[in-house]
Amino acid sequence: MKFKILFTFFFLLLVLSTFGKSTPPKESLWYTQPAKQWFQALPIGNGTLGGMIFGGVEKEQIQFNESSLITGTTSINGNEEPTVGYYQPFGDIFIDFGNLRADNYRRELNLNNAIHTVSFTSGGVNYRREYFSSYPDKVLVASFSASKKARISFTLKLKDAHNGKIEVSGNTITASGTLPENGMQYESQVVVINNGGIMTIGNSSISVSNANDVKILLVAGTDFSKDFSKDFKGEHPHAQLEKTLALAAAKSYSKLRKAHIADYQNLYSRVQLNLGAESNKPTLDRLNAVKDGAIDPALEALLFQYGRYLLISSSRAGGLPANLQGIWNNEYKPAWYSQYTTNINVEMNYWPAEPTGLSECTAPYFDWVENLARVNKKTTDPKLQTKRGWIAYSTNNIMGGPSTWGIHRPGSAWMSQHFWEHYAFTGDKDFLKNRAYPMLKDVSGYWEDYLVESKAGKLITPDGWSPEHGPGLVEGDRTPYPGVSYDQQIVYDLFTNVVDAATALNSDIDYKNRIDTMRNRLLGPQIGKWGQLQEWMEDWDSPNDKHRHNSHMFGLHPGRQISPVTTPEWANAALVSLNARGDVSTGWSTAWKINLFARLGLGNRSYNMINMLFKKCILENMFDTHPPFQIDGNFGYTAGVAEMLLQSHLKTEKGYLLQLLPALPNAWPTGEVKGLRARGGFVVDMNWRNGKLKIFKIKSLQGNYLKIVYQGKMIEKQTNQGKTYLFNL
């Protein structure tokens, strides 16, 4: 069957009835019991201020974090030894409601509006508690109401996680202190606003009796500043927090709620995914059933959207990037510092951003990488000093302070990849000219200086390693080896992005040609004696290596050097290596394999990894666990589902190649997706039945050349900016 482009009035009505009138699924996590442990609580966040809501009936707990509270330091002027430190819990709000008996209890996080609700009946009264963290108003909000007047009574206490000073003034409790490890000043404030009833002020608490309804607002902050020129040190947060709280307190709850929903839905509602009938069972029952072998495509779609929710909630413009746990943490020494590890983790956090319509959420990531570059260029650490460009240690904090566990030379190249990807999806020429290309060229300069020529005349990296083990299968071995595949593939990707960026800008032609020549001289992927994609320049790979890292697969994903379409022999070798690695792994590694198999066009293999993720790595509140909890697995999963449905990484002479449903598994025979983004500036909606694509529409945001492939069939068309094209099969 050939592609047919239909512009008839009849088909227009058909498509509009299919794509325009379908009701978005109600996407929520809901439970029939309050949380007893942190991993059962549900997260809310505004990119900076995050809360974990336990949903207790008689006693409520809101454990909260603010993204800049860390114990680490940096050293710009070389006056002190920098430390990576740990991301810290900020505090808790404890609320004692007295004796309430709960019937018809429901605890729910609605992903469509980012509002957490607790509802129940007690003594014939219906109680409702709502929680959200507002990006427009920069506050965490709670609202308590009941079906009858004068039924809201409680005592509220604010607990500081670092034994700070607690003060009560009027209807506000303030906790403030200084971290002894780095002198960081911090403060949180909570205000209680009651409608009706009586408020009583205690030495460290606020009590409300017989109110009709109550609004509670929380703010928190530190003296951290994103300003590199001021050594990341800003003003004490008190004045700004007081101002923020006063502005929010002057607004009604309904106004705060409306602004929050409008802001959130502007991002979240861009993408819809329907993989099957929704279930009316509680989330935990569905999750446990899947762990026991049940198939629940709607739950898989929910986890996809949960990843988008978590990214919106932990990474917004003006803040910091999502860290290893997003912004949610209750431990003083969380695993791997809960900061930014550059040999996949921080990069994986942003894999779903562009393809699932969350491009704006990358802003903190770009700011942080640019600041890290500035810090490392000024360092007195001889291990980081370079003639051109910059490099970094494996893990770094919000200020660029490192863990000195190991230098990760290709880390800056990998981090710069998303600068190019942002342009590839958005077509933002100003960003490309002023931020992406300068970053790419700067890092490229380092590798111009650092690459050496092998005996075979190829350009190789002289002393790389393959995270996070050596060829002797020794965990954490960082013995340097020349020509490691991981390094080679990342440098190839970097050089490709430099060439494409200079071409798009139509500038710096001499430099582009020089880098293009060097790229062609790089040692490329090699196939070993048992048909594997070699991890090392030497044919050392063991077929018994089950390591969680798939470092030598970078060129398959997230790179674009290896593909069944363009390099089938390398793709086959990658499959041999993936088979040898095995399916059982940690959370983020399992998520990466979803993406890797998707790039190979093996939807059922990707789906096997989805099953593995649900069975081994998804906690009760749907957080991913390594173990322990690492949010990159959530983000990697969302990216993987997007890769199964749409790929656009392959570039042709006229533009990007859009591959529709390239890795659709048998488990999703019927479905619909709306709003996926493709490189080149396209928005894609698709509807499929019995495993076959039926109708789809593509909106061209930039007027680029459109080239589509589906099951060997191809269509090409020059598009007009802003126009939507309808297709039928």
Tell me which H or E stretch contains 218. Answer: strand 213-222
Range in 152-156, 455-459, 499-503, 543-547 with the lowest mean pLDDT: 543-547
Task: Give the Cα separation of 324 and 321 in Å (integer).
Answer: 10
Task: Give the Cα separation of 496 and 121 in Å (integer).
Answer: 61
Q: Please, are residues 97 and 118 in contact by the beta-carbon 8 Å criterion?
A: no
> DSSP letters along 487-536, please?
HHHHHHHHHHHHHHHHHHHT--HHHHHHHHHHHHHB----B-TTSPBPSS
Degrees to nearest 5, angle at CA 315 with 88 and 262: 125
Q: Is the pLDDT of residue 12 over 80?
A: no
N residues, the chain: 729
Q: Please, are residues 133 and 115 in contact by the beta-carbon 8 Å criterion?
A: no
Among the candidates 526, 553, 580, a domain finishes at 580
pLDDT at position 7, please? Answer: 36
What beta strand segments (E) does 1-81 contain?
28-31, 42-45, 49-53, 59-66
Q: Is the peptide bond before 364 cis (omega within 30 degrees of 0)?
A: no
Task: Give the Cα separation of 78 and 87 in Å (integer).
Answer: 23
Tokens 């083990």 appear where? 469
Task: Give the Cα separation of 71 and 80 in Å (integer).
Answer: 15
Average confidence (pLDDT) over 129-146 = 98
Per-residue pLDDT tens digits for 615-646: 999 999 999 999 999 999 999 999 999 999 99
In the chain, what is the straight-line distance between the N-terminal and C-terminal CA atoms, in Å?
7
Among the candidates 580, 597, 620, a domain finishes at 580
The CA-atom distances, in angstroms, between 669 and each of 274, 276, 660 are 11, 9, 15
Q: Is the pLDDT of residue 305 over 80?
A: yes
pLDDT at position 11, please? Answer: 42
In a domain, 669, yes or no: no
Tell me which H or E stretch contains 309. Answer: helix 297-314
The one-character DSSP state at 111 is: T
In a domain, 404, yes or no: no
pLDDT at position 77, please? Answer: 63
Q: For the range 463-471, what are the long-range contacts, defined as Cβ-Cβ under 8 Å and sequence gap of 24 or more?
A: 464/409, 464/410, 465/406, 466/535, 466/536, 466/549, 466/551, 466/552, 467/343, 467/344, 467/394, 467/408, 467/549, 467/551, 468/343, 468/547, 468/549, 469/547, 469/549, 471/535, 471/536, 471/538, 471/540, 471/541
pLDDT at position 24, please? Answer: 56
Structural domain count, the chain? 2
Average confidence (pLDDT) over 676-686 = 98
Mean pLDDT of the chain: 95
531: phi > 0 → left, psi -120 to 50 → alpha, else beta; which? left
pLDDT at position 248, please? Answer: 98
Q: Is the peptide bond before 716 cis (omega within 30 degrees of 0)?
A: no
Q: List the domain range (segments joined by +) for residue 496.
A: 409-580
pLDDT at position 23, please? Answer: 54
pTM: 0.96
In a domain, 397, yes or no: no
pLDDT at position 5, please? Answer: 40
Task: Give the Cα separation of 496 and 282 in Å (integer).
Answer: 47
Q: Please, are residues 561 and 555 in contact by the beta-carbon 8 Å criterion?
A: yes
> DSSP letters along 623-655, please?
-BBSSSB-THHHHHHHHHHHHHHEE---B-SSS
pLDDT at position 1, please? Answer: 40
**Residue 162: which CATH number?**
2.70.98.50
Task: Give the Cα separation of 597 and 605 in Å (integer).
Answer: 6
Q: Please, are residues 29 and 283 in contact by the beta-carbon 8 Å criterion?
A: yes
Task: Give the Cα separation of 614 and 617 in Å (integer).
Answer: 6
pLDDT at position 485, please? Answer: 98
pLDDT at position 329, please? Answer: 98
Task: Give the Cα separation of 203 and 119 in Å (integer).
Answer: 31
In a domain, 322, yes or no: no
Q: Please, are residues 193 and 224 in contact by the beta-carbon 8 Å criterion?
A: no
Our separate counts of H helices and E strands in the chain read 16, 30
**Other beta carbons less than 10 A from residue 515's beta carbon:** 24
In a domain, 425, yes or no: yes
Task: Give the Cα separation of 411 and 234 in Å (integer).
Answer: 29
In a domain, 510, yes or no: yes
In a domain, 648, yes or no: no
Per-residue pLDDT tens digits for 241-284: 999 999 999 999 999 999 999 999 999 999 999 999 889 999 99
Residue 392: strand pairing partners: 408
Average confidence (pLDDT) over 111-118 = 98
Among the candidates 530, 552, 580, a domain finishes at 580
In a domain, 100, yes or no: yes
pLDDT at position 78, please? Answer: 59
3-state secondary structure (DSSP) of residue 460 = strand
Q: Please, are residues 316 and 650 in contact by the beta-carbon 8 Å criterion?
A: no
Task: Give alpha helix (H) positions in 378-463.
Answer: 411-426, 429-431, 437-450
Average confidence (pLDDT) over 418-441 = 98
pLDDT at position 679, please? Answer: 98
pLDDT at position 22, please? Answer: 52
pLDDT at position 463, please? Answer: 95
3-state secondary structure (DSSP) of residue 93 = strand
